[in-house]
């Protein structure tokens, strides 16, 4: 029998780990104690991580938060500088764990950015947001941009980008909403909001019938303003510069502010900002 098989993580061990944490012992000291009584480091670390994760989740749900669900997740466990987007080597510029935010470089070529803008331009209209009171759509003063949606897989360019994104964040293409293109002129902004649908709003159950909650967002910068227009995360005082070809990804495992994914598009001060947004759902989006 291997060491791992012989070292079973029993309910008693899990309870002991929770008791230690509640008594204020550090993860380091608990790990040391486990190893001193014969646990291998790998098993001890796994036991600690899974037990404390489970414990926090139980407490969160008991406090009335929606349960955590799986989310899209770029593979960054070994801190790679580059990720394989299939047909393109994407740069990892910045990563934050809480909130989960990753900034990518070189996600799109200049030609791809220009082509998306030119295909979108004749189809732009004042942006609407989903009306969570009714499940319909409405013009919203918090969002002063012009926009349009591509159908998923609408043309070869859109297909190529959707395939690349799916590979990058490990999430099925069919769980994505259609790509949305937005144009912001001087003064235009998108006030801070959450991208998930508020479970307390009456229209939300209708919205969730098409693919469940949103669990992740990729905002790709297609056209840069010369001043302003960053994507801001007020809870962590982060501002991502809207540099053409770059993108910001973020995920949220429950529809709750505890994800710290409040974010907005700061007003454009000079020039014009163009973005493509891909929202990712829990399940296939029809
Ligand atoms: O334009 C942005 O930076 C921005 C900000 C917040 C886009 C979105 N949200 C979005 O498309 O959800
Ligand atoms: Zn947003």
Superfamily, domain 82-281: q2cbj1_9rhob like domain (2.60.120.620)
Instruction: Say if CB 268 and CB 189 are below 8 A apart.
Output: yes
Residue whose CA lies nearest to ligand 1 atom number 2? 265
Residue whose CA lies nearest to ligand 1 atom number 12? 195
Contacts of 259 (CB under 8 A, 6+ apart): 99, 100, 194, 196, 252, 253
Q: Which residues pair with 219 in a beta bridge?
A: 248, 277
- Residue recorded with tokens 């394989």: 84
Measured CA to CA, the distance from residue 85 to residue 167 in angstroms comes to 6
Measured CA to CA, the distance from residue 194 to residue 225 in angstroms comes to 24
What is the CA(264)–ligand 2 centre distance, in A?
Answer: 6
Nearest bound ligand to the CA of residue 238: 1
- pLDDT recorded at residue 133: 78
Query: Which atom of ligand 1 is closest in space to residue 240's alpha carbon?
Result: 3
pLDDT tens digits, one per residue of 173-219:
999 999 999 999 999 999 999 999 999 999 999 999 999 999 999 99
What is the CA(15)–ligand 1 centre distance, in A?
Answer: 43
Measured CA to CA, the distance from residue 43 to residue 238 in angstroms comes to 36
Measured CA to CA, the distance from residue 112 to residue 88 in angstroms comes to 12
> Of how many residues is the chain composed?
286
Pocket of ligand 1 (CB under 6 A): 190, 195, 217, 219, 231, 263-265, 275, 277
pLDDT band, very low/low/confident/very high, at 134 (cuts 50, 70, 90)? confident
Query: Which atom of ligand 1 is closest in space to residue 242's alpha carbon?
Result: 3
Measured CA to CA, the distance from residue 183 to residue 267 in angstroms comes to 12
Instruction: Say if CB 225 and CB 242 are below 8 A apart.
Output: yes
pLDDT tens digits, one per residue of 2-28:
444 468 899 999 999 999 999 999 999
Give the residue with greater pLDDT, 141 vs 117.
117
pLDDT tens digits, one per residue of 141-166:
777 889 999 999 999 999 999 999 99
Instruction: Say if CB 113 and CB 272 are below 8 A apart.
Output: no
Query: Which atom of ligand 1 is closest in space to residue 273's alpha carbon?
Result: 1
pLDDT tens digits, one per residue of 166-182:
999 999 999 999 999 99
Measured CA to CA, the distance from residue 41 to residue 3 in angstroms comes to 11
Instruction: Say if CB 227 and CB 241 are below 8 A apart.
Output: no
């Amino acid at each position: 029998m291997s060491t791992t098989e012989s070292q079973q993580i029993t309910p008693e061990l899990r309870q002991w780990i929770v008791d230690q944490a509640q008594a204020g012992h550090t993860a380091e000291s608990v790990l040391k104690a486990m190893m001193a009584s014969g646990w291998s480091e790998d098993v001890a670390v796994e036991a600690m991580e899974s037990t404390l994760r489970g414990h926090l989740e139980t407490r969160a749900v008991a406090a009335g938060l929606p349960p955590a669900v799986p989310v899209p997740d770029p593979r960054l466990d070994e801190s790679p500088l580059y990720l394989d987007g299939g047909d393109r080597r994407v740069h990892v510029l910045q990563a934050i764990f809480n909130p989960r935010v990753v900034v990518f470089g070189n996600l799109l070529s200049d030609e791809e950015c220009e082509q998306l803008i030119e295909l979108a331009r004749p189809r732009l209209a004042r942006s609407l947001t989903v009306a969570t009171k009714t499940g319909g759509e409405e013009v919203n003063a918090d969002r002063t941009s012009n926009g349009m949606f591509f159908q998923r897989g609408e043309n070869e360019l859109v297909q190529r980008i959707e395939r690349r994104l799916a590979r990058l964040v490990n999430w099925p293409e069919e769980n994505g909403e259609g790509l949305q293109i937005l144009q912001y002129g001087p003064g235009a902004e998108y006030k801070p909001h959450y991208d998930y649908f508020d479970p307390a709003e009456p229209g939300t159950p209708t919205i969730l019938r098409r693919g469940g909650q949103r669990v992740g967002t990729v905002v790709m910068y297609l056209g840069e303003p010369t001043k302003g227009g960053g994507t801001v995360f007020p809870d962590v005082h982060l501002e991502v510069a809207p540099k053409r070809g770059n993108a910001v990804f973020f995920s949220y495992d429950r529809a709750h502010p505890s994800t710290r994914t409040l974010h907005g598009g700061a007003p454009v001060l000079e020039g014009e900002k163009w973005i493509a947004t891909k929202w990712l759902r829990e399940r296939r989006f029809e």
